[in-house]
Amino acid sequence: MTRRRKVVLTLVGIPLAAVALLATIGSLRDSHIVTVTRSTCADRDVMWELWANVPERVEWDKGLEYINVDGPFEAGTSGTVEVEGRGPIEYRIIEVDPKNGYTDRFESLLWTHTDWHHRIELNTDGCYDVTWELEARGPLSIISLPVLESIFGEEIPIAVDEFVALAESRS
């Protein structure tokens, strides 16, 4: 093998090996993007209704152009959302625990998805902690992590604050 060929193989092989390693790691574990928790004494039923009434989410999530759901608010149902400045994205509800939480999944990059976990949990004050947690999984999740953090790290806290404020005003 010539010296030039060894150099070319090395220059190509090392980055490919790094990408393969990142893809393997991304496929094996969830990559945490952001978690936001707020405490509130809002009525649990009111909070649940705000989540379950999918088309009305634009009232408290100002970054949404629209969001719809193609059936009942239950696991397996899909829908479409359009975030300001981006095209429509399909999602699927993968888990629903009425009045406690739900998770929806967005297929983002090649073989990669993001899960949005939403929970309402009783806290020690007798009120509730409302938590939104965003995680990514798949071969490109680690690579996309900085972009997702920069986008959602700012948007999610604002949406959670708006959600809690609306729930409190309706309770």
The domain that contains 24 carries what CATH number?
A: 3.30.530.20
Query: In terms of pLDDT, which residue wins out, 146 or 6?
Result: 146
pLDDT category of residue 6 using cuts at 50, 70 and 90: low
Domain that holds residue 95: 3-170
pLDDT attached to residue 75:
98
Query: In terms of pLDDT, which residue wins out, 14 or 167?
Result: 167
User: What three-state secondary structure class fits 105?
Assistant: strand
Give the list of residues 6+ apart from residue 81 with CB closer than 8 angstroms, or none: 64, 66, 67, 68, 88, 89, 91
Kindly provide the residue ranges of all beta strands, DSSP E only, lying in 41-112, ordered along the sequence: 64-69, 78-83, 88-97, 101-107
Q: Residue 70 pLDDT more than 80? A: yes
Cβ atoms of 123 and 38 within 8 Å: the answer is no
State the pTM of this model.
0.80
Number of structural domains found in the chain: 1
